[in-house]
Amino acid sequence: MSDLVRKDSIEELCGHRARALELYALALSTLKAAREAHSRACSMSVITTDFLRDMRYTDCKDPEAFAKAARVCIDRDMWRFFITGTPLGSLMDAEEKRKFEDALRDTPPEATPDTVFATMARLAGDANTIFRRGLVNAFRRFYSDFKSHDGFKIGRRFIIPNLVQPAWCGFNHYRESEVRDIDRCMHVLDGKQEPEYQQGICAAMRTAMHDHKMEAETEYWRVRMFANGNAHFYPLRPDLIEKANRLIAEHYGAALGAGHSARHASQTEVRDA
């Protein structure tokens, strides 16, 4: 037996084992430190990419590929935080945020002080334009009787069709983001941050449906929901609607007359729930 396995070779193999365990422990400690630094770089915001889970075996074998994958991961998370985790994010509608996400999907720009300050300065300079465009996009889909080159006004009531599913106590998933957009606009016009998931009119409507009620109300909206899935929205802050209509008029380049507004109101009021 001693001829087959020498003591010195066993000791050598066990030495490699001990070294491997030591390095694995050191690697775990290093990875934890890297993860903590990653979180701090995004100001402890939720990290959207699991870098280690998404790493490919080939990346682990190639130091340059590993470094690039790590860079892309942390830069993507940092850009998401800089934009969506700051007040600038509340100015962006769902469409603008989708464009932003698309731009990050491949290889985001390096998050250096120069690129971050330049991007933030550009967005801050365009903040009014971005918000105004987002406000128009948020509301105009509910005013189908205007043409692309015409203006419109937010009236005292508008209808969002196929929004609710009372029998299942839920939203039409494809239209809930539209409600979030109009609610976000009212919050921003009132000088507030956009509402979280458990806040705002969407949360109030979910609670109402859960309690088998067909009406919901917040400080900005009163909503009546109907069995056919339609929801009637009544704005409760005339001062904010006036602000919104001024921005809509600016977007279309001219002050709006009463003709379109009155025409739309008459068409809306005769519509069936």
Q: What is the pLDDT of residues 175-223, one digit of tens each?
A: 888 898 899 999 999 998 888 878 899 999 989 988 888 899 999 999 9
| pLDDT of 141 | 82
Query: pLDDT tens digits, the chain, 273 residues: what are they?
Result: 455 556 668 788 888 888 988 988 888 888 888 888 888 887 655 566 666 666 665 556 778 878 888 888 888 888 888 877 777 777 777 777 778 888 888 788 888 888 888 888 887 787 788 888 888 888 988 876 555 556 688 989 999 988 987 665 678 777 888 898 899 999 999 998 888 878 899 999 989 988 888 899 999 999 999 988 899 999 999 999 999 999 998 888 754 444 444 344 433 332 333
Q: Please answer whether residues 256 and 248 qualify as being in contact, where contact means their C-beta atoms are separated by less than 8 angstroms.
A: yes
| pLDDT of 234 | 96
Name the residue with tokens 């998404």: 54
Quote the Cα angle for 271-266-221, to 5°: 75
**Cα 173 to chain center, whole Å?**
15
Residue 145 is given by DSSP the state T
| pLDDT of 262 | 38
Q: Please answer whether residues 105 and 99 qualify as being in contact, where contact means their C-beta atoms are separated by less than 8 angstroms.
A: no
Q: Which of 105, 125, 209 is nearest to 165 (CA)?
A: 209
Q: Which of 151, 107, 135 is nearest to 254 (CA)?
A: 151
Whether this model's pTM surpasses 0.75:
no
| pLDDT of 50 | 63
Task: Round to whole Å and give the CA distance between 152 and 259.
Answer: 10
Task: Round to whole Å and give the CA distance between 167 and 209.
Answer: 9
Sign of the CA dihedral with 9 first, then 11, 17, and 23 last: negative
Dihedral pair phi/psi, residue 49, rounded to 5°: -120, 130
| pLDDT of 79 | 86
Helix or strand (DSSP H, E) at 118: helix 113-125
Task: Round to whole Å and give the CA distance between 251 and 81.
Answer: 29
| pLDDT of 35 | 81
- Sheet of 158-160: strands edge to edge? 158-160, 231-235, 221-225, 215-217
What are the pLDDT digits (tens) for 221-230? Answer: 999 999 888 9
CB atoms < 10 A from the CB of 226, how many?
A: 16
Q: Which structure tokens are listed for 10?
A: 């066993």
SS3 164: strand
| pLDDT of 110 | 87
**Cα 159 to chain center, whole Å?**
24
Q: Please answer whether residues 72 and 94 qualify as being in contact, where contact means their C-beta atoms are separated by less than 8 angstroms.
A: no
| pLDDT of 202 | 92
Residue 44 is given by DSSP the state T
Ordered by start, the domain boundaries in the chain are: 1-41, 48-125, 152-270
Q: Which of 221, 210, 223, 196 is nearest to 165 (CA)?
A: 210
